Every structure is written in C-alpha cells, then in structure tokens.
Chains A and B, each alone.
Chain A
Amino acid sequence: MEYYSPLMLCVITVAALDICALVLIIAAYREKSSGRKRWDRISSSMELVEQGYTYQLGCDEILIGRHASADIRLSDMSVSRYHAMLTVADGVWTISDLGSKSGVYVNGVRIKKKTLHENDTITIGSRQLVLRKRRNARDE
C-alpha cells in the first residue's frame, strides 16, 4: 500500500487539474453568451436584411461582394467582386465603396463613404439591403 500512495497522489493531482480545466472551459462557454451580448452593444445589435433573408454582422469589418471570400456574398453580376465594406466603431456602422463599378447607394444617394443609421437602405448593384435592429434585440 505504501508503494502505491505516491501513485494515488499523482492521479488525484491530475484529476483535480483536469476537473479545474473542465470547469474553466464550461465557464468560458458560459462567458460566450456575455461576450455576444457585449458585441451586440458594440454593433448596436444591427443586422442586414434583404427580402426576408438576414445577414448577421458578427465582426467589425464586413466585406460585401460577389467573391467567394466575401462575408456577405451577393451572387449577382451587377455586384462587383469586392464591392463595399461595412465597418463599426463606437456602435456606429459606416459603409465605404471599394471602387466598385456600379457604386454604392444609401437611401438613393451614391456615396464613397457614409455613416449609416437604422433602417437605411443600401443599394448594391441591383440588390437592396436594409440595416435594422435585430428582431430579438428590439423585443428586449
């Protein structure tokens, strides 16, 4: 028995460390939701809507275009491959034109760079997108 006690101690230590790691991972998962809430605050809980289809705005730089690497991919020949970029700072979204052929229109006005407000309509090629509050955020 005396011979096995160091072994048992070692196993117990490893087990304690593993449980601790597990608890921390669970805590990290739980913090995930608070991180999402915090992001909602930064991004003002905005989303882009196009005829019933919604695009989440999950990071601070969002590329809109026809290219496969675009975050919001609009498969339409009237849209340039790298068309426009949405950025956020201080809870305010800004759209900028990345040198597209057909241009970016906000509420019908062609712009190079413009701060967006809720319910603004963005026209990219022949597509129309609306920036609005997330539905569940509005229901809060």
Chain B
Amino acid sequence: MSNPFSYIFSCLFVLLAHSTMLFNVYFNGSYTDEHQVFVIAAAVIGLDIVYFFLMLFFRQHTYNVDFMLILILNMSNIFQSCFGAVEFDHRHYITSLAALLASRVGYHVCRNHKWIQKQKVFIWIGIGLLAAVIFAFTGSRSMWITFEKFSIQPSEFMKILLILACATSITEQQNKHTVLGFSIVWENVILFFIAAGICLLQWWCRDLGSIPTFMAIYAAGFLLRICYPKAKFSRKTLFIAAGAVLLAGLVALHFAPDYVRARVFVNIWDDTEGDGFQQSRALIAIAEGGWFGKGPGKGALSGVFAHDSDIVFASVCEEWGLLFALMSVLMILILLSAPLFNPPRSYYHGTMAAGVCAAFTAQMALNIFGSCNLIPFTGVTIPFISTGGSSMAASGFMAGMLIAAQSPEFHKPGKKKTTKSKPGSSTKTAAGRSAKTASKSGTRSKTKKKPASSGRRAAV
C-alpha cells in the first residue's frame, strides 16, 4: 500500500456505509426472523474485511476501483437480500464473489498491452467460438443456455471480447494498405465486421437489448481510433458515419418484426396488464416509494417478474427511495470515472476504459430509462446491481479492466519475470538492462536508486 492513511480511511468509510445500510434494514425493515438481518450483516461485513485484508497483497498503483467495487457489490447484496422480505440471498452473494474473482482475472489478463496484443488472435477465436455457441445453443429460442442448475447468458461475455478487440487493434492504424485506390487498415475492417456480425447475431436471437451496448462499445473504440495518428478521419466522415447509423436504425425499426414494434410503440398505461405490465408496475412502485422509500423488505414489486434484474432500479426506489437509488447509480458512475482521476497511460488502456464506460453507461441507461418508460423497454441488467451470474461475472471482469487501466504494466512479453510476487523485480531487470547499455555513468547511479525506493513502497 502506497498510502496507509487513505487505505485505512477508505476501509472505515466503506464499512460505515454498509453498517448504516444494515442499521436501516434492522430498524426500518420488514422481517419476521431477526437472525436473517444478522446473517446479512455478517456476510457483508465479513466480505468487506476479508477483501480489505486481501487487498494488502494486491500489487497495484491505485486501489480506488477496488474500494468502489466492494462498496457497490455489498450494497447490491443488501438490496437483493431485502426485496419483498429481508432474507439473505445466497445466489447473489455467490455471484458477487464470482464478480470479485473475475475482477482479479480481468486485471491480470488486461494490464499488459504488449502481452495481450500478442494474444490478439485468441480474442478473435474467442469471439468466433462464442458466436458459434450463441448460434448453436441459444438461437432464436432464448438468450440463455440452461445447464442442470443454472443458466448462462453468453452474450454478456461477448462485451468483454469486443472491448478487448477494440483496444488491441488500435495500434495497427499505422499499417495501411492500398486496395483499389482506398487506403485501408485491415483491422478496422475486421473490427467493423465483428461488431456488425455481433449486432446481427443479437438481432437474430432476439436479444435486442444488448445491441445498443455493443454499438456503444464500438462507438467508443471508433471515436478513439479516428483520433489516432494517420487514421485520417475528417469531421465530415464522422457525421456521415453517425448519419448512416441513425438511418440504419430507422430502417431496422421500419422492417422490425411486429413484436419489436409493439414494444417500441406501446403505451403502457393503455395496457397495464399486458405489454406495459412491468413498466407500469415499476413506475407505480417508484411513485409509492417517493424520495425516501417504504423501507427495506416492504416493497410490493417483488411479485413482478424480473423485479431483481430488469426493473431492479424501481425495486430499489420503492424500498430505499429514489434518493438512495440515485446515489447507488452515482457510485457506479464514480467507479467509471476512475480514469478521470488517474489517467490511463496508453491508447490500449484508454480505449479499454472508454469501452467499459460505454458498456456500463449504455446498460444502465437501457435498464433505468427503459423500465421508466423513457425509451423502449429491453431486458438488460444494471452492472452489479441486477442479479444474474453471467452479468455479474462479466461486469466484474470489466471492472478488472478498469483496475488494469489504472495500474498498467509496460513490459515486453518474454523479457520479464513474474511481477506478482516480487513487485520490484521487473524494475530491477529493466534497470539492470538499461544500466548495461547505458553509456553514461550518471544514468547508472540514478537507475540504481529506483529498486530501493520501490522496494520500500512494497514493504508498506
């Protein structure tokens, strides 16, 4: 830990936030067995403390994303345990553990762009395989693959791969080829077809909600790409591209199947028992909750299908109040704004952060505005707040990408030793190598100082 004070204060205040929530549940909640409250409290506070302890062994530059992540995940655990009645939600707790694990995996996979750019071909293979799986197993029947006990939604993992594909291909902008008088970057073309292919696949398997998410990710990647040296995109091209997307959307809407059009143009208050059921219930629940909510466990929305995923915002609003729901959304936004405090240091990390931000905001916007009847209702999840294993794991992985963007590594693959156990060693080898090649003696003395200082940091 580089800064023990901020570590201790962050820990204390995350614990404080969770404890006040638990106090709210205890004094204001609706429960028959108060043991359930203690179980939730033990699980949440226990997970906090264990994660804070484990964090001491993480070798990162910054830890604010980790703190935000545990804050949001346990907040979500308390939310999910209170819908309808206060009862500990095992499933969500386990999936939030999976999300934490996935964030570690995501961090270690994504932090070094020199390494991951070498593995680019695996990302493309992964996209191909996942597309094949979606095509073969989910099809137009449903967006879920159901195993014995649980079901997974493969399209969630597609988001990760698309972000990685966008981020890893960005340095290829230099390699232009001239085909039929046009100068073309092959990777741009490939990426475009990947994004278009994913959107078509999602259209085909009726998972229309995820298309805007993919489009937002691609848009973020595209926008960063056109600013890249030698990309040579003018503002005019940008407007034409935006116009084309808009036109394509309108055409798609015009030729959309009836059930899509019914969803888009439904007036929910004319059809409160049919297509508008979930949305009208959600809005009524928000209205009943008001600014300060009815109290944890006192919500009536828990009888409605997908109360804990698609219309989770309304469930939180009903029990905890609109104010608290807005705050919990704000927490996710603060998590996403981490790259604003501590800037990413390469195009790869920047694109990854922008891609994660695009995916999260698009999903939150689709979910919240959809359930509140601002835009057509689609079945997407709010990252970390909604229940669902695939969604939680994928969101956790994407949070790991944000951590990676905060704590980047710049080693060339193959030339380094492992950095995890000995944080100073990579610097040592680098320093040693540069010392060998250095022609001036002044450099040598300076670079030798470095390992000592980094070693001191690691000891704190």
Contact call A24/B64, Cβ cutoff below 8 A: yes
Contact call A10/B292, Cβ cutoff below 8 A: yes
Q: Decide yes or no whether B439 CB sits under 8 A from chain A.
A: yes
A34 CA / B411 CA spacing, docked (Å) = 19
Residues of A within 8 A of B344 (CB): 59
Binary contact track A28-59/B, C-beta < 8 Å → 1, others 0: 11111011001101101000000000000011
Chain B: residues with Cβ within 8 Å of the partner, total of: 77
Binary contact track B90-118/A, C-beta < 8 Å → 1, others 0: 00000000000000000000000010000
Contact call A17/B327, Cβ cutoff below 8 A: yes
Closest to A10 in B: B292
Contact call A90/B416, Cβ cutoff below 8 A: yes
A132 → chain B closest CB, angstroms: 10
Closest to B6 in A: A27
A57 → chain B closest CB, angstroms: 10
A88 → chain B closest CB, angstroms: 6
Contact call B229/A28, Cβ cutoff below 8 A: no
28 A-B contacts (beta carbon < 8 Å): A7-B292, A9-B28, A10-B28, A10-B321, A13-B324, A14-B324, A17-B20, A17-B324, A17-B331, A25-B341, A28-B338, A28-B341, A30-B6, A31-B63, A32-B342, A35-B406, A38-B407, A41-B427, A44-B434, A59-B345, A60-B410, A61-B347, A67-B229, A89-B411, A90-B411, A98-B230, A118-B440, A133-B446
B28 → chain A closest CB, angstroms: 5
Binary contact track B202-219/A, C-beta < 8 Å → 1, others 0: 000000000000000000
Q: Decide yes or no whether B153 CB sits under 8 A from chain A.
A: no
Chain A, interface size category, equals 35 or more
Interface-lining segment among B11-19, B249-257, B300-308, B386-394: B11-19
B8 → chain A closest CB, angstroms: 10
A42 CA / B434 CA spacing, docked (Å) = 12
Q: Decide yes or no whether A69 CB sits under 8 A from chain B.
A: yes
Residues of B within 8 A of A35 (CB): 61-62, 342, 406-407
Contact call A34/B2, Cβ cutoff below 8 A: yes
Contact call B13/A23, Cβ cutoff below 8 A: yes
Residues of B within 8 A of A61 (CB): 171, 346-347
Q: Interface of B with A (CB < 8 Å)?
A: 2-3, 6-7, 9-10, 13-14, 16-17, 19-21, 23-24, 27-28, 61-64, 67-68, 71, 75, 114, 171, 174, 227, 229-230, 292-293, 295, 320-321, 323-324, 327-328, 330-331, 334, 338, 341-347, 406-408, 410-412, 415-416, 426-427, 429-431, 433-434, 437-440, 442-443, 446-447, 449-450, 454
B345 → chain A closest CB, angstroms: 5
The answer to whether A91 and B431 touch (CB under 8 A), given A13-B20, A28-B64, A69-B229, is yes
Q: Decide yes or no whether A16 CB sits under 8 A from chain B.
A: yes
A83 CA / B262 CA spacing, docked (Å) = 55
The answer to whether A19 and B16 touch (CB under 8 A), given A11-B292, A31-B62, A98-B230, is yes
A95 CA / B334 CA spacing, docked (Å) = 37
Q: Decide yes or no whether A125 CB sits under 8 A from chain B.
A: no
Residues of A within 8 A of B343 (CB): 58-59
A48 → chain B closest CB, angstroms: 16
Residues of A within 8 A of B6 (CB): 26-27, 30-31
